Structure 1
Amino acid sequence: MICSGMVYSVLALYFANLGATTSQIGLIYTTGALTGALTGPCLGRLADRYGRKPVIMGAMLSFFLVFLAYALMRHIQLAFPIQAVEGVAWAGLGAAATALVADLAPRSRRGWAMGIYDRTWFIGWIVGPTFGGFVAEHLGFRQTFMIASSLILIGLAVLLLWVKEPPRPGAG
């Protein structure tokens, strides 16, 4: 969440810097929300069928590519397909990560575990915008996106090395 906080705190300013109107910026964000809304149930089904970790890894790889694409983007029209991919990534992450937390938590402590998981989002949105704004102001927008994409790779390595997914019922 730190990475997303870094990026989203400055993204509209970056779009405006590339020449987007306020209406275009709204439509860009709508594109991401729409693709996320349309794909969320399908990605949840994939997480049920193939496991939470593969869907989370796909989402994280997508975020890495999205943030890298923002850094390399030179024309605002490219923001629309990038946001479409980003919406799918958010849908996959939301469905699979929430399900993984539920899988890992004992039934009697699921509410508590979900509350802790939700706090990680808030912490990311406390730290991320502060750091992202500082980096953007001193190094530029593109560098902010490059740093965020690099941090995503670190998170992906942590996921691969240390997060163990419990066996799914019926898998074997």
Structure 2
Amino acid sequence: MLSTLLAAYPWLAFALLAAAVVVGPALGWWLAPRPRAAWALAALAGVAVLVTTLYPTGREVELVCVLGRDGTLAGPEPLANVALFVPIGLLVGVASRRPALGALAGAVLTVGIELVQALAPALGRSCAVDDAIANTVGAALGAVLAAAVLLVARRRTPREDAAALR
């Protein structure tokens, strides 16, 4: 489903990644004084990732797990995998005030997803090391954005904090 969409519109993955990098910091800055909202959005992003990656495709899987590495993040599908995990790294990093936790959460989530894909061939999905790497890169990019947002947010004045909470 996603592969078909990316094949038809190869620019879409880059556009989604660019949107995450441009909109993400503004959203993170707004969420910095609102950790509950950031956690809620992180949970929503996690559910979206799970649905996107584990929804049954209805196709037969010939290879359950691809262990080899292609080594590129430049194609539409790897870029989509990167973009998919940027919100996880950003939102968990902002909500917890620990960007490294955002990167770790994304890495753990992707390993779990790849394990489920490997152990449940009835889903019609196959696991791939490249997907796990791209997802982890996305979570790490989100964590870097979270670190930048938190650095800027620490420089807010008390008056700006009060205005942000209104």
Shorter-chain TM-score: which interval? Answer: 0.3 to 0.5
| Higher helix content, 1 or 2 | 1
Of structures 1 and 2, the one scoring higher in RCO (CA 8 A, sep 6+) is 1
Q: TM-score, normalised by structure 1?
A: 0.41
